[in-house]
């Protein structure tokens, strides 16, 4: 996909990319000036994220390991090759 940079330095992110990345109007993007290519990442509110981390600890009756085991199912490893 291609987009054209305007004389004001603006570019439109194609809708397919916005949908795939979950970008929405008004969202802030952070540009990495050290990358050898154009790299932008969505900025998130760290305080908001930290406010919900661990909010269900001890309330769901399962550990993280148990949730992973239940959602992934048993793991079958391939036979060791020699």
Give CA–CA dist 48/37, Å, rounded.
30
Give CA–CA dist 18/1, Å, rounded.
12
Measure CA 52 to chain center: 17
- The pLDDT value recorded for residue 7 is 95
Give CA–CA dist 76/42, Å, rounded.
36
Q: What is the pLDDT of residues 40-71, one digit of tens each?
A: 888 887 787 778 777 777 666 777 777 778 88
Q: Is the pTM of this model over 0.75?
A: no
């Amino acid at each position: 996909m291609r987009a054209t940079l305007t004389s004001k330095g603006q570019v439109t992110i194609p809708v397919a990319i916005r949908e795939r990345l979950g970008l929405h109007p008004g969202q802030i993007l952070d540009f990495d000036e050290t990358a050898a290519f154009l790299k932008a990442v969505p900025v998130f509110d760290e305080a908001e994220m930290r406010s919900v981390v661990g909010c269900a600890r001890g309330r769901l009756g399962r550990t993280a390991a148990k949730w992973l085991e239940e959602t992934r199912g048993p793991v079958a490893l391939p036979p060791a090759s020699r």
